[in-house]
Chain A
């Protein structure tokens, strides 16, 4: 018995010792918790796991939620990803591009047609990383449940604009964006420059705890910023709006 004990000991001593970092690298399985979509830094406090988990259903609600959604898309897409925008011809890709979304990674399905949304989504879930879904089309509860399962399996994130109220199953997380104030617009002068919004997150499971952050939605200086930082360029850069259209040829006619 004593001999056996020494053999075991010697085996243990020759086993290579790895530090925690190397162990993390060679760990064979990838937990679903680790498969997350990156989010912009200012929004990170909203997500306990550090980002949107792949396969999640996320609802977006409130004025300014479209902008939050666009920044989530732009940040999470990566080099290989694709995003599909379904039933939303009003989704402004100019704005999305200004948040950093790559337009060569976008496909649009403007009119999924009545009763076909489930089929369209099932097809798209296999091919793209993120789907933005219009609230104006509906799917049945059974289809929705099946689609949620498919999304989890394919690790595709579904974003529901305007709160996902028309979606029959429970969402993993809802982000409500409320505009606290706008800057730049006066009584007949200036132009909209940026807005301070409060984003509140609620949900179930890992996203159960309610959290909120205040952020600046982007202006012409770049991506969105946390509220703590001092706003740069709030008063600089006079509006270039009237350049080139000052001389109006027919002044006698009303507009």
Chain B
């Protein structure tokens, strides 16, 4: 059984570290108001990943809240990867703050796994200083190496070693990966649905799962089960494929003149990624590791390997190319900043697997529709501007107009489920909302309305929330009927319902009272009075 022996170097809390925040200050990184990474100090205050931002702020009011910035993460990681490149040429970047390389050659050169681990840890820790922690693990297979790196921190806390800064590298002896993995909880596999089923079957540790026969696992759980089982047994997720990918799969872009700006490179990367993806899918392959290589006019090379747990999509490929080049082109001149712009950019599929893919429905499945839609949205944005196409998200509010907010369609993944569109997203009650049914037409720019009583006197609302007299006649200036006033009799009405919102804040204070009106032409409206002026707010 051949498993590549791997070294994994992990910078814990990289999203926080990348922001350059001292670790002893509480800070969190959020995406869509959910905490995705915390500093150790914030964890000490009871903040954990997955919490809502306001919960985190509730536990620790002084916590610094940072938006996730993947570009910055990749750019700041670039110097660390370069430092490791001085040790070995085959450096693979994983997720945030994760990098690994095969140790066979370098550990023989430097005199053993312990030495190479300590050396790479020191190289990176020297660059990071006291800004962040470094954990190193060595084991057979990248999965076990990643877990070994995570265990390295446990070693420190167990022994109580005083070196708070950096933990001792955790080296799993060759051939013992399976034993190392056996006591670890099954959740480390990271496939939520599968792990859930396994847990309910009584398989609590990786060892329990690995003890099952491979054939049974495939029979019961199919391909996904097989991959997970291989991991639990301490093997690589994919059996090493002895077929080297054909050379012609790689895609190359020559810049003429050279590109010294990142947006030109990113544009080329997108086109290359599409081209590469097309070639791969024509061959029924998917790429799980790709080499992105850039070369300048003066012959400087920059090569990085990128790995992804699933298959790399075209968009993901383009994004990684942009990260890599961004880091390289913006490096300081002492750290190997290229002397000229990029002249050639290549995407080379390094490790390919058969694409098991997803069977599309006869009329096109969800993924295909989302793809088509994403393309259509991109075209519309070219035509009308980036903010022109929006998708709705729910917000809590009293006014009907504010219960939906619109975000640019480019900012969301149209193929993935979006939580903010579900009815459960807004959990807080909003007393004072209009009761259902909701009006079907909500005017963003309210229209002036003239509301009068039977004696043609104007109607107001007193400070006690009472109408001066009963409404009888209403004049609407509708947008659709410009210049034409519609004068209608009021058949029935209710209200006024006063709301005084944000009275503590001068700028956003709104003091309004609403009326529902039913008119003799069968239409029904919501009118609102503010500063003595009636406006048409919504129509049923």
What DSSP secondary structure best describes chain B's contact surface?
mixed
Q: State whether A127 touches B375 (Cβ < 8 A).
A: yes
| Shortest distance between the CB of B106 and any CB in chain A (Å) | 48
Chain A proximity mask over B345-370: 1 for CB below 8 Å, otherwise 0 = 00000000000000001011110010
Contact residues, A149-189 vs B (CB, 8 A):
162, 178-180, 182, 185-189
Measured CA separation A98–B366 after assembly (Å): 24
- Cβ contact of A186, chosen from B364, B494, B513, cutoff 8 A: B494
Among A8-16, A203-211, A212-220, the one that faces the other chain is: A212-220
- Cβ contact of B480, chosen from A79, A162, A251, cutoff 8 A: A162
| Shortest distance between the CB of A244 and any CB in chain B (Å) | 3
Contact residues, A238-255 vs B (CB, 8 A):
239-245, 248-255
Q: State whether B444 touches A90 (Cβ < 8 A).
A: yes
| Shortest distance between the CB of B412 and any CB in chain A (Å) | 9
Q: State whether A254 touches B438 (Cβ < 8 A).
A: no
Q: State whether B493 touches A188 (Cβ < 8 A).
A: yes
A102/B421 contact (C-beta < 8 A), A179-B523, A185-B518, A242-B497 known:
yes
Check B20 for interface membership: any CB of A closer than 8 A.
Answer: no
| Shortest distance between the CB of B49 and any CB in chain A (Å) | 25
Among B137-145, B207-215, B240-248, B461-469, the one that faces the other chain is: B461-469
Check A190 for interface membership: any CB of B closer than 8 A.
Answer: yes
Measured CA separation A125–B91 after assembly (Å): 46
Check A234 for interface membership: any CB of B closer than 8 A.
Answer: no
Tally of A-B Cβ pairs under 8 angstroms:
220
**Which of chain A's residues have a CB closer than 8 A to the CB of B376?**
123-124, 126-128
Query: Interface residues of B toward A: which range?
Result: 35 or more
Q: B526's closest neighbor in chain A, by CB?
A: A192
| Shortest distance between the CB of B194 and any CB in chain A (Å) | 24
Measured CA separation A254–B462 after assembly (Å): 4
Q: A104's closest neighbor in chain B, by CB?
A: B421
**Which of chain A's residues have a CB closer than 8 A to the CB of B379?**
123
Q: State whether B369 touches A123 (Cβ < 8 A).
A: no
**Which of chain B's residues have a CB closer than 8 A to the CB of A194?**
437
Q: State whether A108 touches B383 (Cβ < 8 A).
A: no
Check A91 for interface membership: any CB of B closer than 8 A.
Answer: yes
Q: State whether B437 touches A95 (Cβ < 8 A).
A: yes
Q: State whether A109 touches B380 (Cβ < 8 A).
A: yes
**Which of chain A's residues have a CB closer than 8 A to the CB of B434?**
191, 241
- Cβ contact of B494, chosen from A111, A190, A251, cutoff 8 A: A190
Check B146 for interface membership: any CB of A closer than 8 A.
Answer: no
| Shortest distance between the CB of B532 and any CB in chain A (Å) | 6
What DSSP secondary structure best describes chain A's contact surface?
loop
Measured CA separation A128–B439 after assembly (Å): 25
**Which of chain B's residues have a CB closer than 8 A to the CB of A178?**
522
Check A135 for interface membership: any CB of B closer than 8 A.
Answer: yes
Check A89 for interface membership: any CB of B closer than 8 A.
Answer: yes
Check A28 for interface membership: any CB of B closer than 8 A.
Answer: no
A92/B442 contact (C-beta < 8 A), A104-B421, A124-B376, A241-B432 known:
yes
Check A42 for interface membership: any CB of B closer than 8 A.
Answer: no
**B→A interface (CB under 8 Å):** 361, 363-366, 369, 372-373, 375-377, 379-380, 383-384, 388-394, 400, 403-404, 406, 409, 414, 417-418, 421-423, 431-432, 434-444, 460-465, 467, 470, 479-480, 492-500, 503, 511-513, 516, 518, 521-524, 529-530, 532, 538, 540
7 nearest A-B pairs in the assembled complex, by CB-CB distance = A244-B431, A179-B522, A127-B376, A66-B440, A255-B461, A103-B421, A104-B421
**A→B interface (CB under 8 Å):** 63-64, 66-67, 70, 79-82, 89-98, 102-104, 106-113, 116, 119-120, 123-124, 126-128, 135-136, 162, 178-180, 182, 185-195, 217-220, 239-245, 248-255
